[in-house]
Amino acid sequence: MSSNIRVPQQERSIEKKNKIIQAGYELFSEVGYYGTNTVEIAKRAGVSTGIVYGYFEDKRDILICVLEIYIDKVYKPLAQIMERTSRPVDVRKLALAMIDKTIELHEQNAKLHNTLHSLATTDEAVNAQFISLENKITEQASKQLVKLGINPENITEKVHLAMNIVQSYAHETVFDSHNYIDYAKMKELVCNILVELLK
Amino acid sequence: MSSNIRVPQQERSIEKKNKIIQAGYELFSEVGYYGTNTVEIAKRAGVSTGIVYGYFEDKRDILICVLEIYIDKVYKPLAQIMERTSRPVDVRKLALAMIDKTIELHEQNAKLHNTLHSLATTDEAVNAQFISLENKITEQASKQLVKLGINPENITEKVHLAMNIVQSYAHETVFDSHNYIDYAKMKELVCNILVELLK
Amino acid sequence: MSSNIRVPQQERSIEKKNKIIQAGYELFSEVGYYGTNTVEIAKRAGVSTGIVYGYFEDKRDILICVLEIYIDKVYKPLAQIMERTSRPVDVRKLALAMIDKTIELHEQNAKLHNTLHSLATTDEAVNAQFISLENKITEQASKQLVKLGINPENITEKVHLAMNIVQSYAHETVFDSHNYIDYAKMKELVCNILVELLK
Amino acid sequence: MSSNIRVPQQERSIEKKNKIIQAGYELFSEVGYYGTNTVEIAKRAGVSTGIVYGYFEDKRDILICVLEIYIDKVYKPLAQIMERTSRPVDVRKLALAMIDKTIELHEQNAKLHNTLHSLATTDEAVNAQFISLENKITEQASKQLVKLGINPENITEKVHLAMNIVQSYAHETVFDSHNYIDYAKMKELVCNILVELLK
DNA sequence: AATGAATGAGCCTTCATTCAT
DNA sequence: AATGAATGAAGGCTCATTCAT
């Protein structure tokens, strides 16, 4: 029963719940969801196995909470950049800021990102969360750009596409796997594309 | 021991090995790597559980083979499109062809793609294969484009970026999760970007 | 240690202990001993988990107390019927009264009865309590019947057997599982047997 | 899936399945259903834990099979006594035979009987099996008695009641818990009742 | 006397892998 | 080369009991 799950109101409890989520965050990042077991999560969080099930329905429930944290971590900084942008917009500068922040976020979360994305294939709730995240980002950015005077024609498609391109690029850069690629040059290309797209 | 693994020379054996790989391919696609067990793979392949370990070292070894097949399936059709393109190049037409083929490939393999990508996070060999695939595609496409008269400046970066953008778009379209997106319009945008990038 | 178990002398404490026993009574009845957990008992009793172990040694100890209550609930009403019977005895009427009361008791306690009986198999103390209950009933009824002028020959055996037969019948009736049985007719047969037995 | 459960056709397999059931039979008898764990069942059966789940869906499934065996063990001998009785019927002799056989059966199975009966409270399938057993015995005995010339009036009720009385008595005797009871005398009383009931 | 969060042993079950045939 | 029954370690989860407050 979901009703048996503790909704921690005391500070200490919230702290403990967060510790477990944090432990899950780390372990899922390091060795994936299936490479992590509940005993390990408990150990890392510094609690007993049993109490984990005092705070979470099951292992998947921890994942869902980790996902929430992840989404917050990713969404907020990007939203902030958009919010803080004011007229007149320097699209190139804005693009650059978004790229750099996305890279930074990816550096911290790339492995978890992959793990979560793969689980989205089998878990509808996880998938739904991801979709909703993209919705939120696209919507917020679109509105803000229009407000800032960007041509509103097909703005949603443009922004969504821009987001994907930036994501792709950040992923590339972080994993830095292709040594024949000049990532600085590529960044410039990405910037150009974004500028062109939103002009 | 790797030395105990049969290298099937007899026709029948090769056939059987391929059946197992095919079964793995299907099951990993349908329910993911961790949702598949070896008994199920054997059953689907129409062989005994035991013999699976006559052809493969372990479950992961099947995955590696599935990955090879996957890579072939994805690489060849795209390479073919490039090969068959001849002067004078209509970049827009070529871009469109690549997009459509990528979408088609994604439609058939998207779930497996996700599964494999996530495993790449924890399995270096899987990761390496993916990187090598991208290398191959980029390299081949770059050479061909140069041969066809496209401006060779930063061609590798351009092609790689183009690839990523197409991938992103294909993924979006196939999963079609954002109902506020006009995917036809977005495709046009993608085409424009590619044309601009490679002109 | 048994010495750490509080013997509640304060009214409030006794009340609380009884509440726990009552909660145990209900839950053991509803879902059996193994289907009940101590957290649930505490919740139903309106006390904390911890304090349960202030009043009881362990979960089994609660069971023992529930058993005592159960025995009282069953013994007293039957004893009363015997006590209140006076000369001249109408054996048929008495038999009927006992049958009806036994049915009534069974209706309220049949599931707990089963649960307790099964535990008697593995728990000697539980078993002893049951035996002692039957002893008490048999003894009291025998004495009373003799006092009322019933033939004392083998009276203990007769009474004990009569008890068992009534029990059996009550169980049948309450669970009413065999739809081919005319329970009213069977009741008549039981009555006849008892009358014949005690004449 | 039930389809994954091996239906053992090979002799060896049947043997092994029976060994597991036998182990369950013994352990459930000795320490009850909840006092038995699957590792113990496997150990006693001389097999591994895993293979238990090759033959049975889960622990409860073993119970169901044990129940089937139990029912056979109880039903067949009693049915046989009825079958082998021929005209002219000596009801007292028949009653005695049934009593003695019931006692014998109880001696071997009383503890399991209790365990199963208690589980019937929480498990509808177990309960249904018990009811069906009683149905079978009653029906068969009734038919046979009528065939043998016993007065058919209310025969079902009479037989069912007789069964219950014999059961009760057997239970008493086997557990021999009341040392003030002369069980031989009581047996005589039971016989008288049965003779009277069926005359 | 009381709370309820915390503990951790133990349970049922799964599944990659091995082995007797 | 092939079978599929068998193994047993490991995982998720529960719950009687304890303990810090």
**CA separation for the pair B136, B139 (Å, rounded):** 5
pLDDT at B6: 64
Same domain? B29 vs B79: no
Residue D145: exposed, middle, or buried by beta-carbon count in 10 A (0-12, 13-18, 19+)?
buried
Q: Which helix (H) or strand (E) holds A178?
A: none
pLDDT digits (tens, 9 = 90+) for B138-197: 999 999 999 999 999 999 999 999 999 999 999 999 987 788 999 999 999 999 999 999
Percent of chain C's residues with pLDDT above 90:
82
Same domain? B84 vs B38: no
CB-CB under 8 Å, A169 with B169 = no
User: How wide is the angle at C-alpha D17 spanned by C-alphas D16 and D22, nearest 5°?
Assistant: 95
Of the residues D26, D143, D157, D169, the best mutation for testing chain C's interface (the one with the most C CB atoms within 10 Å of its CB) is D157
Same domain? B151 vs B89: yes
pLDDT at D114: 86
C-alpha torsion sign, points A38, A41, A43, A47: negative
Same domain? B85 vs B167: yes
- pLDDT tens track, chain D, 199 positions: 335 677 766 777 889 999 999 999 999 999 999 999 999 999 999 999 999 999 999 999 999 999 999 999 999 999 999 999 998 999 999 999 999 999 999 999 988 998 898 899 889 999 999 999 999 999 999 999 999 999 999 999 999 999 999 999 999 999 877 889 999 999 999 999 999 999 8
A1 pLDDT exceeds 60?
no
Asked if D197 contacts D161 with a C-beta cutoff of 8 angstroms, the reply is yes
Give A-chain residues touching B169 at CB under 8 angstroms: 161, 164
Say which residue the tokens 């009581």 belong to. Answer: D186
Same domain? D5 vs D31: yes
**CA separation for the pair A89, A198 (Å, rounded):** 11
pLDDT at D150: 94
Give the domain-ending residue among C36, C57, C78. C57
Span A145-174, mean pLDDT? 95
Of the candidates B118, B160, B169, the beta carbon closest to that of A181 is on B160
B75 pLDDT exceeds 60?
yes
pLDDT at D9: 62
pLDDT at C4: 59
Residue B2: pLDDT band (50, 70, 90) is very low
Q: Is the CB of C5 under 7 A from strand E?
A: no
pLDDT digits (tens, 9 = 90+) for C166-195: 999 999 999 877 889 999 999 999 999 999
Asked if A50 contacts A41 with a C-beta cutoff of 8 angstroms, the reply is no
- Domain total of chain B: 2
Same domain? C42 vs C86: no
Please, what is the angle between helix C183-198 and helix C155-175, to 10°? 170
C-alpha torsion sign, points A177, A181, A184, A188: negative
Give Cβ neighbours of residue C37 (< 8 Å, ≥ 6 apart). none
Lowest mean pLDDT among B108-112, C5-9, C39-43, C120-124: C5-9
Contact exists between D and C (3 or more beta carbon pairs < 8 Å): yes
Q: What is the dihedral of CA B58, B63, B64, B70, to 10 degrees?
A: 160
pLDDT at B38: 98
Residue range(s) defining the domain that contains residue B16? 1-57
Same domain? D13 vs D102: no
What CATH number did the domain enclosing B40 receive? 1.10.10.60
pLDDT at B1: 41
Same domain? B125 vs B149: yes
C38 pLDDT exceeds 80?
yes
Nearest in space to B109 (alpha carbons), one of A172, A130, A121:
A121
Span A97-117, mean pLDDT? 93
What CATH number did the domain enclosing D116 receive? 1.10.357.10
Nucleotide nearest to D41 (CA to C1'): E12
**CA separation for the pair A108, C93 (Å, rounded):** 86
Same domain? B25 vs B82: no
Long-range contact pairs involving A168-174 (C-beta distance under 8 Å, separation at least 24): A168/B161, A168/B164, A168/B165, A168/B167, A168/B168, A169/A99, A169/A102, A169/B161, A169/B164, A170/A99, A170/A102, A170/A103, A170/A105, A170/A106, A171/A106, A171/A110, A172/B160, A172/B164, A173/A103, A173/A106, A174/A103, A174/A106, A174/A107, A174/A110
Span C102-130, mean pLDDT? 91
Span C26-47, mean pLDDT? 96
Residue A8: pLDDT band (50, 70, 90) is low
Percent of chain B's residues with pLDDT above 90:
82
> Minimal Cα–Cα distance from A115 to chain B, Å?
5
- Three-state DSSP state, B42: helix
Same domain? B144 vs B98: yes
Of the candidates B122, B134, B158, the beta carbon closest to that of A31 is on B122
